[in-house]
Structure 1
Amino acid sequence: MKKKLGLASLTLVTASILAACGGGESAAKKDQQTLIVSTFGLEEDKMQEDVFKPFEEKYNVDIVLELGTSSERVTKLKSNPNSTVDVIELSQSNAADGAAADLFEKIDSTKVPNMDNLIDSAKELSADGSGPAYTLNSIGIIYNKEAAGMEIDEWEDLWDPSLKGKISIPDIASTFGPAMLHLASDYENVDITTDNGEAAFKGITKLAPNVVKTYSKSSDLANMFQSGEIVAAVVGDFAVPIISESNPNVEYIVPQSGTYANFNTINVNKNSKNKDLAYKYIDWRLSQEVQEKTAVSINEAPSNKEVVLDGETAKNKTYGEVAERTKKIDPLFVNENLKSWIDQWNRILNK
């Protein structure tokens, strides 16, 4: 079983590792390095099989995991300059927040050969030395058509009065919380960058009667659908298999009007003592070999352009025609306004 660290216990890992290196170990075990990876807690068993275990075997490494949401993990890193995290996987806006706080090593692309194989939009993201994107995801609507009593095919349908107390949306501090505000501003026919979200909160106020609960972890939606607590939700495509596997009556749609995208990126902690190994891990995560596997097992759309998906594998991913309909969110704009947005959001939805 992979070693995992709670967010509060990560600073103790160095002592634990040293204590574990006692006598009686094989030469290979003694030479084994440890890499601390901060990542999302989704589909951990499949991540073990397709990402972590093969990397450990290839490089004689012991991977120790720090699991949690993107926002709580970057906050943890910001508050602890002595963190022993080596690499951290984050959503785009949280990565921008960490970069602004000077937490990350500027990536030397010559040490990550697979960066040459990134899709153009991912290359643009890394042009300034930011950590490269290993996947692209976006939001759509997942719903139980029979329970909803209506067909949902556009974002504006979520505001329908018949859905009162029946939907869930991502919390503002989660990966796609800011995207939810962009959708609400679109509902009001206002570009959110022109008024810093004023119209968006008018839209959210109108939507509030329909929202029974906001969520921080998309895995929680499976239980909400199962219990009948909700009939529809806004969700990132990466979580669709988790929900649909336990709730076969739900379907996932991406409105023709478009969707909002997010890159998940990998950065190296500026204070990491294992930077060479961290670079190897990044290159591994970007490789065609790994991304072909994770596209199937954990529904990750590839950022490596050498990966070509068949129709079945491409389903429910930000790939092909869906990727062409994505709109970008400016993470710097989000981070400039996020504190104010969280305050307004909580007054409306988290009373």
Structure 2
Amino acid sequence: MKKIMTTGLALALTSMLAACGSNNAATNNAGTSNAAAPEANQSGEPTELVISTWGFSEDFFKASVYEPFEKEHNVKIVVEIGNNAERLNKIRQGSSDVDVVYLSDYYAQQGINEGLFESIDNSKIPNLENIYDIARAPLGAEYGPAYTIGRLGIAYNPALVEGGVSSWADLWTKFDKNLTLPAITATAGPMVVDAASAAAGDATFNEDTAFTKLKELDNNVVKYYSQTSEYVNMFSQEEIAGGPIMEMYFKDLQAAVPDAKFVAPSEGAYAVMNTINVVKGSDNKELAEEFINWQLSDEVQEASAKAKVDSPVSMNVMLTPEEAVGVTYGADVIGQLRKLDMSFVNEHITEWTDRFNREIGG
């Protein structure tokens, strides 16, 4: 059966682009190419660039991402906010004028399958050369990069779990009616399906084994959560001892339970990638590519990491141990992540959801 993930992802830590050739655009300290900067419209008024995103950390994005780009390029950024599904549906329906869209890789793959995104010109995004291989073209070379990579691991309260937690298999042995798992339709849902297959000892993904294993676990699950806030509330009230969660949210658990621990399971934590793409039919494709290049710049990547907004994909970002707490950071960490094949997941998610509802969570 086809694998739906790879382990021990090789990272070719490539060197930066050599500054050679008189035709190459000079890149300024902000990480954007002056020569490639689109011109303002004929009236001199700022060009409007519409960006579709989640809306979290709005103050950070406004001050550190949007405003510097607006000043550099005489641009007015307009932001549309919503969850992945809502925003992708608006693009499907043609009910928005979005130029640039931020989506998780699971939803971005749907957009690619449906022909909703432009092919990007990698030559217009020189900062691609500075990011980890796994982030450079996660869904194909023609489409947008991952601008951040998080990881799905296991968080737990040591006071409620006997012995430490170190593997996905521990979900079956260390939790007694005090476990939470992501809903099958959540971003992390398919990752847990794969983890169940791995915990059963399968070298490659086996759907039947995975669902049999998940059914064994069902009696210990307090709730299949759809929102991280549900996890945090249950954890703080000690209704659960823990379960799979994205590392970026661990700080919220630790604020409620200072002794809480986050572990990357021995079989490998899962890569959680957020991508950035140009929407099909955009009148501002070149400007959109400039914005993607800016999002990948060392300046933005470092600021995002230090603010604990997004984990960096730039290999040039250097963090102190304190700055790296709660951040998916470094070649060693990223090189051990398990990455799902999102094309395969999207082909099977409807049948997995139906099967989950019928056999486990119905």
TM-score (ref. length: structure 2): 0.80
2:318 is aligned, of 285, 308, 312, to 308
1:286 is aligned, of 284, 287, 296, to 296
The 5 A counterparts of 1:70-81 are: 70-78=84-92, 80-81=93-94
Residue of structure 2 equivalent to 1:11: none
Contact 2:155 2:263 in 1 (8 A): yes
User: Which segment is superposed worse, 229-238 or 180-189?
Assistant: 229-238
Q: CA deviation at 1:299?
A: 4.7
Contact 2:120 2:144 in 1 (8 A): yes
Residue of structure 1 equivalent to 2:236: 226
Q: CA deviation at 1:260?
A: 1.7
Q: CA deviation at 1:131?
A: 0.6
Residue 352 of structure 2 is aligned to residue 341 of structure 1: yes
> How many positions carry a matched residue from both structures?
320
User: Which residue type is aligned with residue 338 of structure 1?
Assistant: I
Contact 2:57 2:309 in 1 (8 A): no
Residue 199 of structure 2 is aligned to residue 181 of structure 1: no
Residue of structure 1 equivalent to 2:127: 114
Deviation string 1:216-253 (CA, Å, 9 cap, x unpaired) is 33244222222333220211122222333344232211
Contact 1:222 1:247 in 2 (8 A): no
Residue 144 of structure 2 is aligned to residue 131 of structure 1: yes
User: Which segment is superposed worse, 278-287 or 62-71?
Assistant: 62-71
Q: CA deviation at 1:254?
A: 1.0
CA distance change for structure 1 residues 173 and 56 in 2, over 3 Å: closer, same or farther?
farther
- Describe the SS at the equivalent of 1:263: strand
CA distance change for structure 1 residues 210 and 50 in 2, over 3 Å: closer, same or farther?
farther
Residue of structure 2 equivalent to 1:50: 64
Contact 2:147 2:276 in 1 (8 A): yes
CA distance change for structure 1 residues 327 and 60 in 2, over 3 Å: closer, same or farther?
same
Contact 2:175 2:241 in 1 (8 A): no
CA distance in 2, matches of 1:116, 1:221: 37
CA distance in 1, matches of 2:76, 2:234: 36
CA distance in 2, matches of 1:219, 1:45: 21
Structure 1 gaps, min length 5: 1-28
CA distance in 1, matches of 2:345, 2:162: 35
1:33 is aligned, of 37, 44, 47, to 47
Residue of structure 1 equivalent to 2:258: 248
Q: CA deviation at 1:334?
A: 0.6
- Describe the SS at the equivalent of 1:326: coil
- Describe the SS at the equivalent of 1:153: coil
Contact 2:137 2:144 in 1 (8 A): no
Contact 2:236 2:253 in 1 (8 A): no
User: Which residue type is aligned with residue 35 of structure 1?
Assistant: L
TM-score (ref. length: structure 1): 0.82
Residue of structure 2 equivalent to 1:4: none
CA distance in 2, matches of 1:154, 1:268: 38
Q: CA deviation at 1:158?
A: 1.4
Residue of structure 2 equivalent to 1:24: none
Q: Which runs of 4+ in 1 moved over 6 A?
A: none
Residue of structure 2 equivalent to 1:85: 98
CA distance in 2, matches of 1:189, 1:341: 20
User: Which segment is superposed worse, 116-125 or 127-136?
Assistant: 116-125
Q: CA deviation at 1:44?
A: 3.2
2:160 is aligned, of 144, 147, 162, to 147
CA distance change for structure 1 residues 221 and 48 in 2, over 3 Å: closer, same or farther?
farther
Q: CA deviation at 1:344?
A: 1.4
Contact 2:165 2:174 in 1 (8 A): no
Q: CA deviation at 1:146?
A: 1.1
Deviation string 1:10-44 (CA, Å, 9 cap, x unpaired) is xxxxxxxxxxxxxxxxxxx9823332222234333
Residue 276 of structure 2 is aligned to residue 266 of structure 1: yes
Contact 1:219 1:239 in 2 (8 A): no
Residue 227 of structure 2 is aligned to residue 217 of structure 1: yes
CA distance in 2, matches of 1:61, 1:257: 46
2:78 is aligned, of 58, 64, 68, to 64
Specify which structure has the higher proportion of helix: 1
- Describe the SS at the equivalent of 2:144: coil
Residue 110 of structure 2 is aligned to residue 100 of structure 1: no
User: Which residue type is aligned with residue 314 of structure 2?
Assistant: N
Residue of structure 1 equivalent to 2:171: 158
Q: CA deviation at 1:84?
A: 1.5
User: Which residue type is aligned with residue 169 of structure 2?
Assistant: E
- Describe the SS at the equivalent of 1:272: coil
- Describe the SS at the equivalent of 2:120: coil
User: Which residue type is aligned with residue 88 of structure 1?
Assistant: V
- Describe the SS at the equivalent of 1:63: strand
CA distance in 1, matches of 2:191, 2:173: 20
Contact 1:171 1:177 in 2 (8 A): yes
User: Which residue type is aligned with residue 274 of structure 2?
Assistant: N
Contact 1:140 1:254 in 2 (8 A): yes
Residue of structure 2 equivalent to 1:330: 341
Contact 1:43 1:298 in 2 (8 A): no
CA distance in 2, matches of 1:65, 1:341: 34
CA distance in 1, matches of 2:252, 2:61: 14
